[in-house]
């Protein structure tokens, strides 16, 4: 029995050594990824782009990267509300993305954009966008 445990432990150590880290540690954001994420987020023009970026760099969502995501999301909500249906469609199929977007309706949003977003959600809320409009107005 001890021999089996020793061999199992050696195998696990070897696998961790070969792969470089345990599986849960592979989601950490390397500094080069954070730089790429910041560059990409600064260029986002639509919800499909935000979703793709979230899939690629969502694990980098902290610090400056998070602030960039908040700015990009606020810009879309404030100035491109006519495309909010695309956001609703993407979020309907991906709860993590939905929570990601809601997390970025935050204090990093410039005040003038926050007012536009609140007005959009109060005056032009789509029938299937209640969750989003309520979250914005309640913020």
Q: What is the pLDDT along the chain (139 residues), one digit of tens a residue?
A: 444 433 334 333 333 333 333 333 457 999 999 999 999 999 999 999 999 999 999 999 999 999 999 999 999 999 999 999 999 999 999 999 999 999 999 887 889 999 999 999 999 999 999 999 999 998 7
Q: Report, in this order, helix, strand and coil percent for the chain, each rounded to 5.
A: 80, 0, 20
d(CA 53, CA 61): 11
Please name which of 132, 119, 43 lies closest in space to residue 84, comparing C-alpha atoms: 132
**pTM score, whole prediction:** 0.78
CA torsion angle for 107, 66, 117, 79 (degrees, to 10)? 140
Q: What is the pLDDT of residue 72?
A: 95
d(CA 12, CA 9): 5
Q: What is the pLDDT of residue 26?
A: 52
């Amino acid at each position: 029995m001890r021999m089996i445990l020793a061999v199992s432990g050696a195998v696990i150590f070897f696998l961790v050594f070969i792969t470089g880290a345990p599986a849960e540690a592979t989601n950490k954001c390397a500094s080069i990824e954070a730089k790429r994420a910041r560059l990409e987020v600064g260029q986002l023009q639509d919800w499909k782009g935000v979703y793709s970026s979230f899939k690629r760099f969502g694990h980098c969502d902290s610090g400056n990267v998070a602030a960039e995501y908040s700015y990009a999301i606020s810009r879309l909500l404030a100035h491109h509300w006519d495309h909010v249906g695309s956001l609703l469609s993407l979020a309907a199929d991906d709860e993590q993305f939905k929570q990601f977007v809601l997390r970025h309706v935050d204090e990093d949003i410039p005040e003038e954009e926050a007012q536009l977003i609140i007005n959009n959600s109060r005056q032009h809320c789509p029938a299937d966008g209640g969750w989003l409009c309520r979250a914005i107005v309640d913020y």
